[in-house]
Amino acid sequence: MISLPVKWLKRSQIAVTCLILCLILPLGVVSAAELATDVAVGDSDWQWDLLIFLIVLAASAASAALPLAALKHWTGYWRALALAPMVLITLWLLLILVSKLISADSHPYWMYEVFGWAMFTMIYMVALMTAKRIFEKEDSK
């Protein structure tokens, strides 16, 4: 039988993933509209724009896997430290989405911002996992 915290954790993981996708997909629609305009105008760089968008989407999904796995297995303040990048990227995506809705010219390089954040999240999580392992080894001695 599954205990309540595990059920809650699975629901929270699904909720965080859905929230991030709900923030990235509207930005993807904006990018798709820009790509459609580029194709209609005859701009030949639309393939590169599409490729960059797909890379950003894949890197963002991959960078979310580490904190979600840590949330599943870690407890206490380690769990809070693992949740921090997910909260920050969600807020950042919300800021980008709102600013894009206000002005289409804002955050013209939002894909690079998200990609940079995804790379920072991966580095942060690897450093956090290393620190956790070091502290746990010291505690076990």
Distance CA 95, CA 23 (A): 10
Q: How confident is the model at residue 39 (pLDDT cuts 50, 70, 90)?
A: low
Structure tokens that stand for 38 in this block = 């580029």
Structure tokens that stand for 45 in this block = 């760089």
What's the confidence (pLDDT) of residue 110? 82
For the entire predicted model, the pTM comes to 0.63
Higher pLDDT, 21 or 92: 92
What's the confidence (pLDDT) of residue 16? 61
Nearest to 57 by CA among 83, 101, 21, 14: 21
pLDDT > 80? residue 87: yes
Distance CA 72, CA 135 (A): 19
Q: Contacts by 55-61 with C-beta closer than 8 Å and gap 24+?
A: 55/115, 56/111, 56/112, 56/114, 56/115, 56/118, 57/24, 57/28, 59/115, 59/118, 59/119, 60/20, 60/24, 60/89, 60/114, 60/115, 60/117, 60/118
Q: How confident is the model at residue 26 (pLDDT cuts 50, 70, 90)?
A: low
Distance CA 126, CA 45 (A): 35
Picking from 8-22, 43-57, 116-130, which range would have the lowest pLDDT averaged per residue?
A: 8-22
What's the confidence (pLDDT) of residue 15? 61
Percent of the chain with pLDDT over 90: 22
Structure tokens that stand for 108 in this block = 């013209």
In the chain, where the domains are located: 4-140
What integer is the mean pLDDT of 28-55?
66
What's the confidence (pLDDT) of residue 134? 94
Q: How confident is the model at residue 126 (pLDDT cuts 50, 70, 90)?
A: very high
In the numeric block, the tokens 């059920």 are attached to 7
What's the confidence (pLDDT) of residue 100? 87
Q: Is the Cα torsion angle 121, 126, 132, 138 positive or negative in sign?
A: negative
